[in-house]
């Protein structure tokens, strides 16, 4: 019985090269030209912070947060309330810790802009770059390590934060 099964499988596999499982020939048609009026993917703007990327051997929170005391002080400064508008609340998770600066990737904005976040749990706020991501406004956001530390939100939690644009 085993010999018959092995023989059947061997014949079945050998037929794969010539049968329905054979590789299809690669098309020799030239690639389609893309015109200038078609939309092209755009790179997302980098954070406006001058903080360097963390070193490759970074292991601790201090290693990954490369912002300076001066940058933290500027981000913590209260913005001018003129023109600031509340975009809503979002649940934020810790974003890419290798990406330096003060930023929030959120579906609450459709274009990169300056803004502010407020963590009601501590009453602290931070000025951040608001970076758009796909998803409904009710989807969560990703926050930078530096911003999360500045607003004193627990790094292992999913804090609900208020998001403001302008100011």
Report residue 147 as tokens.
Answer: 């911003």
Report residue 131 as tokens.
Answer: 């970076």
Environment class of residue 8 by beta-carbon count within 10 Å: exposed (0-12), middle (13-18) or buried (19+)?
Answer: exposed
CATH of 61-165, one of 2.40.40.10, 3.20.20.100, 3.40.50.300, 2.30.42.10: 2.40.40.10
Return per-residue pLDDT of the chain as tens, 167 residues.
Answer: 555 444 544 445 444 444 444 444 444 444 444 444 444 444 444 444 567 788 888 888 888 888 888 888 888 877 666 778 999 999 999 999 999 999 999 999 999 999 999 999 999 999 999 999 999 988 999 999 999 999 999 999 999 999 999 86
CA separation for the pair 92, 157 (Å, rounded):
9
Nearest of 122, 107, 121, 111 to residue 163 by alpha carbon: 107
């Amino acid at each position: 019985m085993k010999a018959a099964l092995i023989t059947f499988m061997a014949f079945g596999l050998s037929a794969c090269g010539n049968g329905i499982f054979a590789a299809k020939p690669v098309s020799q048609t030239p690639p389609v030209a893309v015109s200038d009026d078609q939309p092209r993917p755009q790179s997302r703007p980098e954070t406006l912070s001058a903080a360097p990327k963390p070193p490759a051997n970074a292991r601790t929170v201090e290693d990954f947060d490369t912002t300076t005391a001066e940058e933290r002080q500027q981000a913590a400064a209260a913005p001018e309330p003129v023109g600031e508008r509340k975009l809503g609340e979002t649940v934020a998770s810790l974003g890419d810790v290798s990406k330096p600066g003060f930023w929030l990737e959120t579906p609450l904005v459709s274009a990169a802009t300056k803004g502010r976040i407020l963590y009601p749990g501590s009453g602290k706020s931070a000025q951040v770059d608001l970076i758009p991501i796909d998803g409904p406004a009710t989807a969560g956001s990703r926050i930078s390590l530096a911003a999360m530390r500045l607003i004193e939100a627990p790094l292992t939690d999913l804090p609900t934060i208020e998001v403001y644009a302008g100011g």
